[in-house]
Amino acid sequence: MGICMDVESNQLNKRAGRGGRRASLFVYALAGLENTAFLANAVSLVTYFYGDMHFNLTKSANALTNLMGTTFLLSLVGAFISDTYLSRFKTTILFGCLEAVGLALLTVQAHFQQLRPLPCKDAADLLTNHCPQANTTQVTILYVGLYLMAFGNGGVKAALPALGADQFDEKDPREAPKLASYFNWLLFSITFGAMFGVTFLVWISLNQGWDWSFGVCTIAVIVGLLFLSMGRSLYRNNVPQGSPFVRIAQVFVAAIRNRSLPLPEMAEELHEIRNREAGKDVEILNRTDQFKCLDKAAIVGGADESTHPWRTCTVTQVEEIKILLRMLPIILSTVFMNTCLAQLQTFSIQQGTTMDRSIRGFEVPSSSISFIPLFFMTLAIPIYEHIFIPVARKFTGIPTGIRQLQRVGVGLVLSIISMAIAGVVESRRKSVAVEHNMVDSNAPLPMSVFWLGIQYAIFGMADMFTLVGLLDFFYAESSSGMKSLGTAISWSSLAFGYYTSSVVVDVVNKVSGGWLESNNLNRDKLNYFYWLLAILSTVNFGFYLMCSSWYKYKKVEMKQVDADSNGNYEEKV
């Protein structure tokens, strides 16, 4: 029934002239405005935790890392709701409102002093952690606001990209390049908004106060939701097809129950969608040879059992699960790249605080250093879209230039190069400290912070290739009832990358004898750590090549089921 409902919705959308690039513009608007708030907080909340809430440095860093990881992981919840109960548009509005409420609560706390611990008497108290500590009520308000924001942002991340992608018909070969182009410009919108956040909003938080910064973030999200609502009449809306997790469970249960039955010699004897609706297009996934044990879920055990979903599933339903199982190694092989990204976001900012950050008398805030990769990404995306893809298309014959998994592979290679260069730059920074006898000095080194721009620029391009490649890949390969789940799976790579970042640092410190434990980058061996990450990334890339070569892209055929004058049904392919 869910598939038929989705088909009816698609036909209605086509007749109404909905979708297309015009509809996706409203998605770009919310993506940019919402990420203005998200990235601004991602790079600067440590300062709020440390300076205003009086957490120590370790607790501040862990609080931010856990918040970021949880945000991306909660996208799975938003995906479940979007695929099961609500349309992607309604899911985005609901979770966007939750994010705005969380930011508003943080605004209130930052504005009223009684909702925060009393200020430190002087800077020495802050450094020695002798400032008044937050009470239970203050901490509760903080975490409720933070995780409402995280919950809302995770839901938006799951539903919004899929909503925009729904505006293009992936079954139409003429629409495939437009769909890939959509993901490129979605990332452009995200990075453009993030650039504004890590510069203007960071400046506001440092110079006007955190209440103003959180307040502007709240307004940005609300305005973005209004923009999205303005385009409601233009959207192609999906119809939820029921819980994807129930469909997954049904396949495993049916396969176990039918484990003793022999597989038929002819694949056509397995159960598939037939005689359902007249004159409707239905997406049928062709059977593949991988995970043959699951094919037993599609064995018809008897006349009364062919329609029982917990006893006999369709081949299409079985293939949905096979797709997810094939995707898991792909997502696992990209986690380590995001672990490296987390290290750049923390250690590179610390490196920046030791370097010359002045530009003609203006001192660049350390939190705004992440502007560098965002800037290079905004330059690289149009070049990729208008130069690389047309040139690559002439050689490969692929409408998108290269396949999604090839694009992810390019990103992984660039991340290896970035980490190797990061080690070289850090070696140079340490040598400058030694040459000028500034190893134990707090004064900025006579070395420009823009040296970090080399590693950041390359990693920014790596992120452009990998993130867009994953979003496009998981959306395209997921079945029609699991599009939001596919999008959420791509974000989960970032979640696990953030979660494992602190584990990697702890393990390296124990094994190496303390490369990163002296709290002085001039004495630490951060360059060794970066080179180790480059080596491990190379090993991870080898694992990715194995996973991507093993993956089989899904094959779809469209069946049209017509009824004759006697009410009998005939399938046409």
Of 288, 319, 350, the one marking the end of a domain is 319
CB 64 within 8 A of CB 49: yes
Total count of domains within the chain: 3
At which residue do the structure tokens 């998981």 appear? Answer: 474
d(CA 307, CA 478): 24
**Within this chain, do residues 433 and 527 fall inside the same structural domain, yes or no?**
yes
445-448 and 556-563 strand pairing = unpaired
**Within this chain, do residues 337 and 388 fall inside the same structural domain, yes or no?**
yes
- Average pLDDT on 359-368 reads 75
pLDDT of residue 57: 65
d(CA 493, CA 408): 13
**Within this chain, do residues 30 and 148 fall inside the same structural domain, yes or no?**
yes
Angle at which helices 526-550 and 404-435 cross, to 10°: 170
Confidence of residue 147 (pLDDT cuts 50, 70, 90): very high
**Within this chain, do residues 542 and 502 fall inside the same structural domain, yes or no?**
yes
**Within this chain, do residues 229 and 309 fall inside the same structural domain, yes or no?**
no
- Average pLDDT on 138-160 reads 92
CB 310 within 8 A of CB 457: no
- Distances in Å between the alpha carbon of 103 and those of 206, 267, 476? 17, 54, 33
**Within this chain, do residues 396 and 257 fall inside the same structural domain, yes or no?**
no
**DSSP labels for 328-364?**
HHHHHHHHHHHHHHHHHHHHHHHHHHTEE-EETTEEP
- Structural tokens at position 127: 């450094």
**Within this chain, do residues 295 and 420 fall inside the same structural domain, yes or no?**
no
pLDDT digits 0-9 by tens, 326-340: 888 888 888 888 888
Q: Give the CATH number of the domain where residue 350 resides.
A: 1.20.1250.20
Question: What does pTM read for this prediction?
Answer: 0.81
**Within this chain, do residues 237 and 99 fall inside the same structural domain, yes or no?**
yes
At which residue do the structure tokens 């500590």 appear? Answer: 133
d(CA 257, CA 308): 12
For residue 436, tell me if it sits in a domain. Answer: yes
Helix (H) or strand (E) holding 571: strand 569-572
Of 241, 266, 288, the one marking the end of a domain is 241
pLDDT digits 0-9 by tens, 151-160: 999 999 989 9
Of 217, 241, 265, the one marking the end of a domain is 241
d(CA 322, CA 294): 8
For residue 10, tell me if it sits in a domain. Answer: no
Confidence of residue 395 (pLDDT cuts 50, 70, 90): confident
For residue 4, tell me if it sits in a domain. Answer: no
Amino acid residing at 143: Y
**Within this chain, do residues 79 and 190 fall inside the same structural domain, yes or no?**
yes
**Within this chain, do residues 140 and 202 fall inside the same structural domain, yes or no?**
yes
**Within this chain, do residues 152 and 264 fall inside the same structural domain, yes or no?**
no
Residue 455 has pLDDT above 60, yes or no: yes
pLDDT of residue 569: 33
Mean of per-residue pLDDT scores for the chain: 82
Instruction: For residue 384, give its domain range.
Output: 322-556
**Within this chain, do residues 337 and 430 fall inside the same structural domain, yes or no?**
yes
For residue 444, tell me if it sits in a domain. Answer: yes
Contacts of 489 (CB under 8 A, 6+ apart): 76, 327, 331, 474
For residue 203, tell me if it sits in a domain. Answer: yes
